[in-house]
Chain A
Amino acid sequence: MTRVGRWAADHAVLFVAGLVLLYMFLPVSFVVLMSFNDPVSRLSYEFQGFTWDNWRNMCAPAGLCSSLLTSIQIGLAATLGATVLGTLAAFALVRHRFRGRKATSVLIFLPMATPEVVMGSSLLALFAAGGLAGRLGFWSILIAHIMFCLSFVVVTVKARLAGLDSTLEQASMDLYASEWTTFWRVTMPLVFPGIMAAAMLSFSLSFDDFIITNFNHGNTITFPMFVWGAAQRGIPPQVNVVGSLMFLTALLLVLVSTGIGRRKQAA
């Protein structure tokens, strides 16, 4: 092979990877761009002029900010519930031997392998059979969100726990720390990043869920429900502001957390 040919072959994979990343970023860039758009009519999605107005009056479209608040409330409550229940279960699965482990693992794995339509519709079937179809709302969304976040928490925390060096705990016990002290001073600090990751994953799953929520929301409007409703009439540019804000927040969180992780590794 010639030198040029070899160079091209060597870098082809990088070039393709770059194109794929571009594909992944195209819609996000579009969302950020459109958050500064000054549209003439509600139905036009072309960029017509630059303005800060959408960012300044984020809550201008009726119902947008209240739906955002509902989503944040549900997200926080679902994260708390799923993280606590899931972490306890992960400890049980890694640290304790008991009968029915196999069946338990299957029950935890199944929700992740089930399409959301099936989960959402079966919960609705249950609520309807219980005569609750007319009273769905905040509580039913919360129940559903805790349910589908739970498995992801168990898997995430379990992975962290399983990779834990148990000699550290043995050392602690050898130095006369009680089980309780060892747990809080050694085990917990080591598992905590896993729990944090699980909580962040839960929040983003809950905050972004549309399909399961759509089946069980009653009259409660979460942010994705608001966007869905607005999509039928024309999306207000402020929706893109929220999308951009979410993107920036997530990027910041990920960069900060990996930054901290790396500094700890270096230290």
Chain B
Amino acid sequence: MSAVVGGLTDAARGTATTPTPTPISRRKLTGYFLLLPALAWLAIFFAVPSVQLMATSLYDRSGSLEYGYEMTFAVGNYPAAWTAYATQFGRSFMYAGIATVLAIFLAYPLAYAIAFRAGRFKHLMLVLVIAPFFTSFLVRTLAWNSILADNGFVVGSLKTIGILPEDGRLLASSVAVVAGLTYNFLPFMVLPLYASLEKIDLRLVEAARDLYANGFTAFRKVTLPLSLPGLVAGTLLTFIPASGDYINSQLLGTPKQAMIGNVIDRNFLVILDYPMAAACSVTLMVAIVTMVLFYVRRSGAEELL
């Protein structure tokens, strides 16, 4: 009852105070006003720090955090960083690349099954995909550490089957790090793939079958191209965080599996060589942006950006 009254009085007030539509200029100002706080926050705490990171990468390395750094436009920090950490850069992109490809092969059947085969279990399966990822990232990665441990059942059974040699191990190897990366970023592949598979009009696949395409050809010519936006989005969402990650290599690998994230972390927080760390960080960012742009152009999915 009161709702109706309130609505009526509001309506009356509305007609009284706004006889004409709001002027365009005021609406425009409202837009800026609504946007300002968020933009200011991102400008101050994202854009400015990025510029500061670039500046830091050009500081003179002979300075220190305690006594301050001198800005000498030391471009030489970059070649120094590349030569010192070439292996870690290469390893990061290799691990992230392998993990992304593995994630595609694991996520595609799962997303396909949820979109087309799950029937009334669709909702439940989606929940099952997301649910594990609410448990702490670190706790799950540590669980992998124990699962793959030398005396664990996985290593034990692999040895019994003979896949792993008697003195073989999984933990502290590249295999463990890549498996961890694949696992941690898998839902970022499944969800966008599912989203674009689900939108596909199945009559298109039927049409292909009617025109004598076999199941595989129909998939290759119809389903796969139509799921491309999801595939591209999933690839980016997996590859970008994976190449910067250092938790997996830290908890599942050894220094021999160190990625560029480990290097940046150590240089900033342990060695306290800020210019070197910043040069690595900027290089990582530039490399990723370049690869992403190239990839998006090649796959013809510009509208994603």
Contacts and interface: CB of A to CB of B under 8 A. Distances in A.
Nearest to A178: B14
B31 A30 contact: no
B84 interface: no
Interface string A82-109: 0001101101110111100000100111
Given A150-B38, A177-B10, A179-B18, A231 B251 contact: yes
A121 B132 contact: no
A16 B109 contact: yes
A125 B31 contact: no
A129 B269 contact: no
Interface in B104-148: 106-107, 109-110, 112-114, 117, 123, 125, 127-132, 134-147
Nearest to A249: B134
Interface residues of B, number: 98
Nearest to B35: A92
Contact of B45 (A86, A113, A143, A246): A143
Contacts of B212: none
Given A118-B284, A251-B127, A239 B47 contact: no
Contacts of A177: 7, 10-11, 14
Contact of A31 (B42, B140, B186): B140
Contacts, number: 284
B49 interface: yes
| Interface residues on chain A, size class | 35 or more
Contact of A98 (B31, B123, B264, B282): B31
B143 A31 contact: yes
A85 B40 CA distance: 10
Residue among A89, A93, A122, A211 with the most chain B CB within 10 A?
A: A122
Interface of B: 7, 10-15, 17-18, 22, 27-28, 30-35, 37-39, 41-43, 45-50, 52-53, 55-56, 65, 106-107, 109-110, 112-114, 117, 123, 125, 127-132, 134-147, 149, 151-152, 183, 186-187, 215, 236, 240-241, 243-247, 251, 260-261, 264-265, 268-269, 274, 277-278, 281-282, 284-285, 288-289, 292, 305
Given A30-B146, A208-B137, A211-B247, 13 more contacts: A17-B109, A21-B125, A24-B183, A25-B128, A46-B151, A92-B32, A98-B32, A115-B245, A176-B14, A177-B11, A179-B18, A181-B10, A227-B142
